[in-house]
Amino acid sequence: MRSAMAKHILVKTRQEAEELKQRLAKGEDFAKLAKKYSLCPSKKREGDLGEIYPGQLVKSVEQVIFNKPLSKVHGPVKSKFGFHLIVVYFRN
């Protein structure tokens, strides 16, 4: 079965997500920003979602996790929860 590992930052607005993405592009640490700004309980693990299997997360987030290039910040990705910035760091 396919699986992947990813980190994300969840915020309320597209603008917040864009601002955080710019900060990441300038070299700020994803883990620190996730801990400080993410609305998801995964913020306690620096945004780490752990091992993910198809069907566990909302479709828009899974599309990124299972199809986009590794080690790159993707987003903002809209879901019913808000806007996500996602980094996929492992897939098999």
Sheet holding 48-52, edge to edge: 48-52, 4-11, 82-91, 73-79
Predicted pLDDT at 1 = 85
Domain ranges of the chain: 4-91
pLDDT band at 8 (very low <50, low <70, confident <90, very high): very high
Query: Is the full-model pTM beyond 0.85?
Result: yes
Place of tokens 């198809």: 54
* Residue 81 to residues 50, 54, 92, Cα–Cα distance (Å): 19, 18, 27
Which whole number is the average pLDDT over 61-74?
98
Give Cβ neighbours of residue 79 (< 8 Å, ≥ 6 apart). 58, 60, 61
Question: What is the share, in percent, of the chain residues with pLDDT greater than 70?
Answer: 100
- Domain 4-91 fold is Chitinase A; domain 3 (3.10.50)
Measured CA to CA, the distance from residue 2 to residue 84 in angstroms comes to 22
